Chains A and B, each alone.
Chain A
Amino acid sequence: MSVPLLEVEGLRTHFFTKAGVVKAVDDVSFTVSKGEVLGLVGESGSGKTMIGYSIMGLIDPPGRIVSGRIVLGGRDLRALSPEALRQLRGNRIAMIFQDPMMTLNPVLRIDVQMVETILAHESLPRAAAMERSRAALVRVGIPSPDERLSAYPHQFSGGMRQRVAIAIALLNNPDLIIADEPTTALDVTIQGQILYEMQKLTRETGAAMIWVTHDLAVVAGLADRVCVMYAGRIVEEGTVADVIERPVHPYTQGLLDSVPSRTARGVRLKPIQGMAPSLADLPLGCAFRDRCGRSIDACLGAPETRMVGDLSRGRAVRCHNPLPPVAVLE
């Protein structure tokens, strides 16, 4: 395998609140190769957004990256000066946020918000920056871009705003785009369009992408590989086909059983019992233990990440008692 574009290793991002230490991201490792789409799946509060913020260097107090390495194109981002990191943000790595209604500044025109993104990273005549902004709007499928450039965010629908945010993320041709559930707040039809366009755009530009979602079905059509998160940890990792067709972690299995699917009509859904534990007060051992139908005595101890199956496929699971049929390689 070639040198990955992004390498996250042993990342821990904790929030030091009055109620205790919230381990939002706890010992997370993964890699993203050039041009690859990595799906990051997990239920609400599992720490997906905080992984994105950690990579971008946007964690604010009381939160802090406690340990770990984040290496982008050979450079350790945690060792960079604030100014060097600023130059990477929006330039080499871009992020699209969850809620399109909140991410654009309500009192600034779209052209201002686009042009500034370009001028923050290179000196360019205004007209050229304007032209590039226009082209970016066209690229994400916004009709009559000239009019739209001089409009304000409130004149756009949610779907259009998210397209603008995507256009902004694409402006400087980043190597990596972190898309934080960009379609969750949108209608299903708009969701589909945006998914399709994002897929096309990453293919055209060769950008790698981390696609954050809580919806395994979205990931199925879009991503190359998937990481499944539970309570701040990655519990299973593998290619989309492997994880969706042959999940090995009971939590992944539970997620798949709790969504309706076309093929299994009439089959009873089996939602996961119980609730996700509080990140400030995680039980010792496996955090999924209390909700898991396969828990054994060993689950009282924390599971380590183990490779499973054919090594070349990069499958890993963090479970003492993973599902068959794939045998665990010691």
Chain B
Amino acid sequence: MLAFIIRRSLQSVAVLVAMSLLVFVGVYAVGNPIDILINPQADQIEREHAIAALGLDRSLPEQYLSFVTGAAHGDLGRSFVHSTPALSLILERMPATMELALAAMVIAIVLGIPLGLWAGLKPRSIAGRAIMAGSILGFSLPTFWVGLMLIMVFSVMLGWLPSSGRGPTVDLFGVIPVSFLSLEGWRHLALPAINLALFKLALLIRLTRAGAREALLQDYVKFARAKGLTNARIIGVHVLRNILIPIVTVIGLELGSVIAFAIVTESVFAWPGMGKLLIDSIGLLDRPVIVAYLLIIVTLFIIINLVVDILYSALDPRVRVTESKG
């Protein structure tokens, strides 16, 4: 197990280095930020001064090298626009995005697995068909449009829920600002979380349904019935334990993507998260923030994948990672 984690960590470092290089070159190619950042009235001397201050007078390899040296010490550069460290700028926004993403995932899991099971067990029933039809909608409607519709109905027409921002936050453990600890915060969180959850909900319904239908055909289910087990036990233990394996994998991977792609929802609901920061930074060609954001997302993906692999081996005895045999 330990050997496994060490091996994975080394791989992760390699991935991060490769990724940083790609991102750095990519961002460099996008455009020169100096035209946006500097007052058009500035004269040549002021201009050169600014370029030197931002380190943009140096060659790409030089810039990359100094970035990597900094990164090794935990310094991902300073924002051109805000003049504060890019890392802290992003970390400040991270709780908002994390809260939104986790809330969305919880909604998707809590509704998706039971609905998917139902649809899988009773594929011909009216409820089963309705669930599947709903999941097709969840798949095919674009997120931003659904977001706008939610605002139209629940904020504008019914006036039940606010349409933008996080509302008041409460500090969790005294440091992490979160919305979900107050009623007002919940009301702000509801619409964006539902919006972000819809696609994942549809995905989990389909995955669970397909898994359940396949598992039901297996001999071990028939044998479980031949043993005289109750239906509740057959579904809740024999079937669920088997389909949980792909479901956990997908939930893990989707958690990463839900964090990364919260951007659309954050934009629609003016949710002050990392995604919104990224969009703003791209608009201003704020290179250090873009690079730092992408690297943080990659790190998140790596960590999530690691956790999924560990969970996976806990769920599936056949792939269990052992130290003795390895």
Is the CB of A94 closer than 8 A to any CB of chain B? yes
**From residue B30, how far is it (CB to closest CB) to chain A in Å?**
48
A99→B222 CA distance, assembly (Å): 12
**From residue A52, how far is it (CB to closest CB) to chain B in Å?**
9
**From residue A92, how far is it (CB to closest CB) to chain B in Å?**
9
A97→B315 CA distance, assembly (Å): 26
Interface with B: A102-110, A128-136, A191-199, A292-300, which one?
Answer: A102-110
Instruction: Specify which of B222, B224, B237, B242 is in contact with A106 (CB 8 Å cutoff).
Output: B242
A56→B237 CA distance, assembly (Å): 22
**Residues of chain B with a CB closer than 8 A to A152's CB:** 317-318
A154→B319 CA distance, assembly (Å): 10
**Residues of chain B with a CB closer than 8 A to A87's CB:** 228
**Residues of chain A with a CB closer than 8 A to B225's CB:** 56, 58, 89
CB <8 Å contact, A117 and B245: no
Q: Which of A116-142 contact B (CB under 8 A)?
A: 116-117, 120-121
A95→B219 CA distance, assembly (Å): 12
A-facing mask of B200-240, CB < 8 A → 1, else 0?
00000000000000000011101111111110010001100
Q: Which of B115-151 contact A (CB under 8 A)?
A: none
A86→B231 CA distance, assembly (Å): 9
CB <8 Å contact, B230 and A102: no
CB <8 Å contact, A108 and B227: no
Q: Chain A CB within 10 Å — which of B223, B227, B315 has the most?
A: B227
Is the CB of B241 closer than 8 A to any CB of chain A? yes
CB <8 Å contact, A91 and B228: yes
**Residues of chain B with a CB closer than 8 A to A58's CB:** 222, 225-226
CB <8 Å contact, B228 and A104: no
Q: Which of A70-111 contact B (CB under 8 A)?
A: 86-91, 94-95, 97, 99, 102-109
A-facing mask of B180-210, CB < 8 A → 1, else 0?
0000000000000000000000000000000
CB <8 Å contact, B223 and A107: no
Instruction: Specify which of A91, A99, A107 is in contact with B245 (CB 8 Å cutoff).
Output: A107
CB <8 Å contact, A165 and B241: no
CB <8 Å contact, B230 and A86: yes
Instruction: Specify which of A102, A108, A109, A168 is in contact with B238 (CB 8 Å cutoff).
Output: A108
CB <8 Å contact, B220 and A103: yes
Q: How many A-B residue pairs have CB under 8 A?
A: 77
Is the CB of B316 closer than 8 A to any CB of chain A? yes
Known A97-B219, A97-B223; contact A107-B315, beta-carbon cutoff 8 A: yes
A102→B218 CA distance, assembly (Å): 7
CB <8 Å contact, A104 and B229: no
**Residues of chain A with a CB closer than 8 A to B237's CB:** 108, 116
A107→B226 CA distance, assembly (Å): 18
A106→B223 CA distance, assembly (Å): 12
**From residue B310, how far is it (CB to closest CB) to chain A in Å?**
16
A168→B220 CA distance, assembly (Å): 13
Q: Which of A49-81 contact B (CB under 8 A)?
A: 56, 58
Instruction: Specify which of B224, B226, B315 is in contact with A105 (CB 8 Å cutoff).
Output: B224
**From residue B235, how far is it (CB to closest CB) to chain A in Å?**
13
CB <8 Å contact, B318 and A89: no
**Residues of chain A with a CB closer than 8 A to B315's CB:** 107
**Residues of chain B with a CB closer than 8 A to A99's CB:** 219
A168→B228 CA distance, assembly (Å): 11
CB <8 Å contact, A90 and B229: yes
CB <8 Å contact, A117 and B220: no
A106→B315 CA distance, assembly (Å): 11
A105→B219 CA distance, assembly (Å): 9
CB <8 Å contact, B241 and A105: yes
CB <8 Å contact, B318 and A120: no
Instruction: Specify which of B220, B222, B227, B242 is in contact with A116 (CB 8 Å cutoff).
Output: B227
CB <8 Å contact, A89 and B227: yes
Instruction: Specify which of A102, A107, A117 is in contact with B229 (CB 8 Å cutoff).
Output: A117
A152→B315 CA distance, assembly (Å): 12
**From residue A313, how far is it (CB to closest CB) to chain B in Å?**
33
**Residues of chain B with a CB closer than 8 A to A121's CB:** 228
**From residue B246, how far is it (CB to closest CB) to chain A in Å?**
12
**Residues of chain A with a CB closer than 8 A to B219's CB:** 97, 99, 102-103
**From residue B169, how far is it (CB to closest CB) to chain A in Å?**
41
**Residues of chain B with a CB closer than 8 A to A117's CB:** 227-229
CB <8 Å contact, B317 and A107: yes
CB <8 Å contact, B220 and A104: yes
A133→B227 CA distance, assembly (Å): 14
Beyond the given pairs A90-B228, A154-B318, 12 more chain A to chain B contacts, judged by CB atoms under 8 angstroms and listed by A's residue number, are A91-B228, A97-B219, A99-B219, A102-B220, A103-B220, A105-B223, A105-B224, A105-B242, A106-B220, A107-B315, A120-B233, A168-B227
**23 A-B residue pairings within 8 Å (CB atoms):** A56-B225, A58-B222, A86-B228, A89-B226, A89-B228, A90-B228, A94-B226, A97-B226, A99-B219, A104-B220, A104-B223, A105-B223, A105-B238, A106-B220, A106-B316, A106-B317, A107-B242, A107-B315, A117-B229, A120-B229, A120-B230, A152-B317, A154-B317
A contact residues vs B (CB 8 Å cutoff)? 56, 58, 86-91, 94-95, 97, 99, 102-109, 116-117, 120-121, 152, 154, 165, 168
